[in-house]
């Protein structure tokens, strides 16, 4: 078999694993997925690279030390990369290395491969239960950019705060709109988020007041991680852009709507967005997502030449948002939508980001922007779901929400549904702490 057919075999829907939990049709971490992350555990507090499979983690550093995983052209560089506390060095080895590791793992974890399956002692060295591990921020993020690429979301916001007949600004349909955010405040799922303070302009007062955000919100997004950077002054062509992407995560770009409304003119969001952005800990590769590729929405007008690409560049990723109040026993699912609705593709976002000559680096994070669908229950923010507080949401155990209250836990979840298996992202979770006094 050649490398291409080996890679294709990793996506075979009939392939099963000896890790039986991975064969559960509802498991996010099937053998077809194999997402990458950084973890530590009870045996060692050293952070290192791992791959999720069912309810287990494969310790890549331990597997390499046992002589069962290698990238032949990289030698000791590979060993150091998988023992590192971020994935940046591993990602920098290049797409051939990522694919080689996926192929080797898919074979080792397959039900009919005895190497690990039948060696109890070796399995104890290289396999860790997810329940016994702590997951960490998977990459060191040099830069973070957030886009605004859902037509439904942009139309809803434009209708809410401007003329509904002219909800989209003239430039929105011509290019992926984005802004440069704060990489320093990107945190991993499970990190508590403190309600921000800032300037608020109340409608009945002439001057702003200072205080805690009163309209705290989520933004249901995905993010992609740069796998191959480009040099300063050398744009990435739209047709080549996906080769520069390592994989995707879930992303919650927490938003202080009232702070944002006062500060965003004329230069856009600032403190309303800088306080926290939460991402899921597992990075799902584009290779794992390949079977779920679908056509993106028709773009009218046709984009300028540098933003055109042939083929299908959207992905059928089911997404949902859950809200659990502090004392509630269960969460309420408040939104369900799909990544396939996104108007601008990841390739177009990256091509536009670099067309000026802007360079990107391994580990850079690009947020999709809020993902909203065409129905009232598919909106990716409370701003839309409650129409800026005018239509409160009913929760399962009683009570309502217009915006997020202290103690609320917000969870984003996402997965692609295959034939009897899933390629999922796990969850992206954050609990809101009160503002500092």
Rounded-to-integer distance, Cα 279 and Cα 428, Å: 6
Residue 324 predicted with pLDDT over 60: yes
Domain count, the chain: 2
- Find where tokens 């669908």 sit: 373
Tell me the pLDDT tens digit for each residue of 311-321: 999 999 999 99
Position 1 scores a pLDDT of 44
Whether a cis peptide bond, with omega within 30° of 0, leads into 172 is no
285 and 389 share one domain: yes
Position 4 scores a pLDDT of 80
**Is 153 tagged catalytic?**
yes
Position 73 scores a pLDDT of 67
160 and 131 share one domain: no
54 and 187 share one domain: no
Mode of pairing for the β-strands spanning 144-147 and 365-367:
parallel
170 and 66 share one domain: no
256 and 302 share one domain: yes
Final residue before a domain boundary, out of 136, 165, 183 = 136
Whether a cis peptide bond, with omega within 30° of 0, leads into 137 is no
Q: Phi-psi bin for 420: left (phi > 0), alpha (psi -120 to 50), beta?
A: left
The CATH number linked to 43 is 2.30.30.230
Would you give the distance in Å from CA 297 to the centre of its chain?
21
On whether 15 is known to bind a ligand per the annotation, the reply is no
Tell me the pLDDT tens digit for each residue of 36-82: 999 999 999 999 999 999 999 999 999 999 999 998 766 799 999 99
CB 307 within 8 A of CB 236: no
Rounded-to-integer distance, Cα 108 and Cα 117, Å: 8
On whether 76 is known to bind a ligand per the annotation, the reply is no
On whether 391 is known to bind a ligand per the annotation, the reply is no
Tell me the pLDDT tens digit for each residue of 158-192: 999 988 999 999 999 999 999 999 999 999 999 99
Who contacts 307 (Cβ-Cβ below 8 Å, separation ≥6)? 175, 176, 238, 348, 351, 352
130 and 149 share one domain: no
Nearest residue to 237 via CA among 133, 395, 354: 354
36 and 103 share one domain: yes
Query: How many other C-beta atoms can be found within 10 angstroms of the C-beta atom of residue 361?
Result: 15
Tell me the pLDDT tens digit for each residue of 370-413: 999 999 999 999 999 999 999 999 999 999 999 999 999 999 99
Who contacts 203 (Cβ-Cβ below 8 Å, separation ≥6)? none
CB 415 within 8 A of CB 422: yes
Rounded-to-integer distance, Cα 72 and Cα 91, Å: 16
Identified catalytic residue from 153, 244, 309, 352: 153
Nearest residue to 332 via CA among 318, 321, 347: 321
423 and 405 share one domain: yes
Position 5 scores a pLDDT of 85
CA angle, 426 as apex, 92 and 116 as ends, to 5°? Answer: 70
33 and 181 share one domain: no
On whether 273 is known to bind a ligand per the annotation, the reply is yes
74 and 33 share one domain: yes
On whether 397 is known to bind a ligand per the annotation, the reply is no
CA angle, 287 as apex, 285 and 290 as ends, to 5°? Answer: 115
Domain that holds residue 33: 3-136
Final residue before a domain boundary, out of 136, 164, 197 = 136
Q: What is the mean pLDDT of residues 244-260?
A: 98
Final residue before a domain boundary, out of 136, 167, 202 = 136
Say if pTM beats, i.e. exceeds, 0.75: yes
63 and 209 share one domain: no
163 and 92 share one domain: no
The CATH number linked to 186 is 3.90.850.10
């Amino acid at each position: 078999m050649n490398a291409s057919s080996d890679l294709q075999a990793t996506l075979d829907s009939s392939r099963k694993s000896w890790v039986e939990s991975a064969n559960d049709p509802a498991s996010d971490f099937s053998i077809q997925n194999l997402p990458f992350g950084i973890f530590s555990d009870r045996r060692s507090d050293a952070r290192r690279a791992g791959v999720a499979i069912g309810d287990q983690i494969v310790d890549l550093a331990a597997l390499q030390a046992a002589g069962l995983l290698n990238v032949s052209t990289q030698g000791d560089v590979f060993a150091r990369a998988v023992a590192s506390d971020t994935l940046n060095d591993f990602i920098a080895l290049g797409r051939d290395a990522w694919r080689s590791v996926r192929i080797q793992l898919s074979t080792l974890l397959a039900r009919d491969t005895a190497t690990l399956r039948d060696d109890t002692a070796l399995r104890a060295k290289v396999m860790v239960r997810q329940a016994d591990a702590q997951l960490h921020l998977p990459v060191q993020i040099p830069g973070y950019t957030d886009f605004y690429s859902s037509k439904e979301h942009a139309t809803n916001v434009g209708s809410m705060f401007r003329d509904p007949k002219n909800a989209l600004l003239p430039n929105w349909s011509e290019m992926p709109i984005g802004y440069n955010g704060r990489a320093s405040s990107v945190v991993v799922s499970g990190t508590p988020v403190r309600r921000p303070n800032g300037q608020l302009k109340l409608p009945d007062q002439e001057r702003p007041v200072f205080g805690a955000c009163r309209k705290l919100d989520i933004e249901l997004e995905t993010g992609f991680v740069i796998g191959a950077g480009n040099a300063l002054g050398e744009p990435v062509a739209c047709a080549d852009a996906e080769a520069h992407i390592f994989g995707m995560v879930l992303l919650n770009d927490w938003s202080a709507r009232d702070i944002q409304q006062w500060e965003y003119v004329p230069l856009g969001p600032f403190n309303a967005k800088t306080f926290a952005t939460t991402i899921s800990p597992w990075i799902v590769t584009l290779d794992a997502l390949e079977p779920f590729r679908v056509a993106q929405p028709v773009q009218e007008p046709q984009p300028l030449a540098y933003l055109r690409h042939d083929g299908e560049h959207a992905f059928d990723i089911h997404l949902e948002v859950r809200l659990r109040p502090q004392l509630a026993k269960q969460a309420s699912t408040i939104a369900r939508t799909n990544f396939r609705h996104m108007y601008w593709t990841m390739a177009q976002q990256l091509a536009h980001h670099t067309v000026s000559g802007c360079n990107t680096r391994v580990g850079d994070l690009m947020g999709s922007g809020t993902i909203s669908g065409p129905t009232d229950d598919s909106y990716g923010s409370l701003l839309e779901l409650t129409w800026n507080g005018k239509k409160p949401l009913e929760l399962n155990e009683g009570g309502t929400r217009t915006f997020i209250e202290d103690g609320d836990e917000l969870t984003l979840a996402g997965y692609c549904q295959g034939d009897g298996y899933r390629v999922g992202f796990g969850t992206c979770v954050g609990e809101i702490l009160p503002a500092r006094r």
